[in-house]
């Protein structure tokens, strides 16, 4: 079911500062910031040879990232995203196996313009998992 790691997401309290650290200190290539109101975040992608790192900043007080940062004010790893060939098939298999899909269970369009779903971290050893259709 799982394909390659698409990205690892890090919640940050200051996206401009985090972007500068990755770009200027680590010498990474970073994307322009992109607001995703449906997900309540603004994102920047750090482009690496084998994957990406997604830097997430809250977009509004109701953002799930705001709640994460309230518990982790310095930021930290938020989720890992795996690619799947068919997100609806993956969802159905996971639900049949007892995994909880967050939200209403229907995919939303993610930062890459592709359908995504999130799986409850309590079902995967404390790690929030995002699935993204190829």
The mean per-residue pLDDT over the stretch 76-93 comes to 98
- Are 44 and 55 in contact, with CB atoms under 8 Å apart? yes
Q: Residues 54, 57, 130, 132: which is the catalytic one?
A: 130
Determine what percent of the chain is predicted with pLDDT higher than 70.
100
- How crowded is the C-beta side of 102, counted as CA atoms within 13 Å? 16
Note the maximum CA span of the chain.
Answer: 46
The pLDDT value given to residue 7 = 98
- CA distance linking residue 40 with residue 60, whole number of Å: 7
From first CA to last CA, the distance across the chain in angstroms is 12
Q: 5-133 has which CATH code?
A: 3.10.180.10
pLDDT at 48: 96
**11 band by pLDDT with thresholds 50, 70 and 90:** very high
Catalytic-residue membership of 130: yes
Please report, for the chain, the start and end positions of each structural domain, with discontinuous segments joined by +: 5-133
pLDDT tens figures, 34-80:
999 999 999 999 999 999 999 999 999 899 999 999 999 999 999 99
pLDDT of residue 40: 94
pLDDT for position 102:
97
Among 56, 104, 46, 42, smallest CA distance to 117 is for 104
Query: Is the CB of residue 115 less than 8 Å from the CB of residue 128?
Result: no
Predicted model pTM: 0.94
């Amino acid at each position: 079911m799982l394909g390659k790691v698409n990205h690892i997401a890090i919640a940050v309290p200051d996206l401009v500062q985090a972007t500068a650290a990755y770009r200027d200190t680590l010498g990474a290539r970073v994307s322009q910031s992109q607001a995703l109101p449906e997900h309540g975040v603004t994102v920047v992608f750090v482009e690496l040879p084998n994957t990406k790192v997604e830097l997430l900043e809250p977009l509004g007080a109701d953002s799930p990232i705001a709640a994460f940062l309230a518990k982790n004010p310095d930021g930290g790893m938020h989720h890992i995203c795996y690619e799947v060939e068919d997100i609806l098939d993956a969802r159905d298999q996971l639900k049949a196996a007892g995994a909880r899909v967050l939200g209403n269970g229907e995919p939303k369009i993610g930062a890459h313009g592709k359908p995504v779903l999130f799986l409850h971290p309590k079902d995967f050893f404390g790690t929030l998992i995002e699935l993204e259709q190829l």
